[in-house]
Amino acid sequence: MARVDVTETGNGGADGRRTGSRVRAVVDRWRGDPGIWRRGSLLAGCAVALALLMIFHAEIPNKIGNLGSLTETFLPWLGLFVPVLLVAALLRRSATALIALLVPALVWLNLFGGLVGDKSGGAGDLTVATHNVNADNPDPEGTARQVAGSGADVVALEELKPGMVPVYEKALADTYAFHSVQGTVGLWSKYPMTDTRPVDIRLGWTRAMRATVATPHGEVSVYVAHLPSVRVKLNAGFTANQRDNSADALGEAIVRDEVGKVILLGDLNGTMNDRSLNAVTSQMRSTQGAAGDGMGFSWPAAFPLARIDQIMVKGVQPVGSWTLPATASDHLPIAARVRL
């Protein structure tokens, strides 16, 4: 039998040996350094403080500028400090800091690791979508057609400028046979709607509504809400009192709803972590948390930082949740598939 000699070609083997040599050199240098356990105590303290901040975020008081709600709005982004501290610990050559960094890393994974992957699966009975279209939207017709193109059976729109409502109605008329606009929010449906009415969220004008939608799989109560905006001001902190009062009123309306299956669509100007939305979030499930694909951040559209647009359910099983492509709005539309 002929013998075939196989020899290395190129410099791949040499590169691998050089990389291995560098790694061994670093390990040997760290192993022979008696200061690796003494250096980096400040970095280790920062790592522990970061972990405590994520664990006990609910204990941060809201009395001073709603600092607790502000922290909870951007809570997932605290995880960015972990790689920053990791680089600092490596440069400092601190084994103490590296070990301490395991704590915030594990805490973040426990809080948000489940949101990273795709949890969707199974067939649904109803697809819903919601979109804050932006009152100053330069292309309302294109925005409406794009959302309708998602295939949603029920669509909620928020921040409807009164003068633009006819544009949205015309653009959606071919897809949705039933619709109702209450104040600055509207609901479009392929299925009949009854008991349609505004919902008082203590603003003095209408920014919320509800309707009973008769789907082929049974009736479901659908709420549309656009809670007041929040602002971050140097002299006042996170100004969210009006939004918080409206969230309480919305939660009370949902509690009193006599239909056992409820879907909430809208711009809540807050995340599921924000304790001030507890009147709503304590009784409903987020479709993104239960069956989402990734974090699902929806605002601002150019570089999403938070999911303040929500699809939430009660008595309904979410089987999928996702963000839709950007429109001319400053929010991304979101959609979900549910089983009734």
Model confidence, pTM: 0.86
- CA–CA separation, 90 and 1 (whole Å): 54
Instruction: Indicate the domain borders of the chain.
Output: 12-116, 126-339
- Residue 12 CA to its chain's centroid (Å): 44
- Helix H, strand E, coil C: the string for the chain is CCCCCCCCCCCHHHHHHHHHHHHHHHHHHHHCCCCCCCCCHHHHHHHHHHHHHHHCHHHCCCCCCCHHHHHHHCHHHHHHHHHHHHHHHHHHCCHHHHHHCHHHHHHHHHHHHHHHCECCCCCCCEEEEEEECCCCCCCHHHHHHHHHCCCCCEEEEECCCHHHHHHHHHHHCCCCCEEEEECCEEEEECCCEEEEEECCCCCCCCCEEEEEEEECCEEEEEEEEECCCCEEECCCEEECHHHHHHHHHHHHHHHHCCCCCEEEEEECCCCCCCHHHHHHHCCCEEHHHHHEECCCCCECCCCCCECCEEEEEECCEEEEEEECCCCCCCCCCEEEEEEC
* Residue 128 tokens, joined: 């819903």
- Listed residue (258, 225, 219) closest to 125, CA to CA: 219
- CA–CA separation, 216 and 189 (whole Å): 13
Angle subtended at Cα 294 by Cα 222 and Cα 79, rounded to the nearest 5 degrees: 120
Residue 20's pLDDT is 63
- CA–CA separation, 312 and 94 (whole Å): 45
CA Rg value for the chain: 26
Residue 60's pLDDT is 93
Q: Long-range contact list for 244-248, CB < 8 A, 24+ apart?
A: 244/276, 244/277, 245/202, 246/201, 246/202, 246/203, 246/207, 246/208, 247/201, 247/276, 247/277, 247/279, 247/280, 248/202, 248/279
Low-confidence ranges of the chain (pLDDT < 70): 1-32, 232-239
- CA–CA separation, 180 and 151 (whole Å): 19
Q: Report the topology of domain 126-339.
A: Deoxyribonuclease I; Chain A (3.60.10)
Angle subtended at Cα 209 by Cα 285 and Cα 306, rounded to the nearest 5 degrees: 45
- CA–CA separation, 302 and 328 (whole Å): 10
Residue 63's pLDDT is 83
Residue 17's pLDDT is 66
Residue 4's pLDDT is 44
Whether the upstream peptide bond of residue 228 has omega within 30° of 0, thus cis, is no
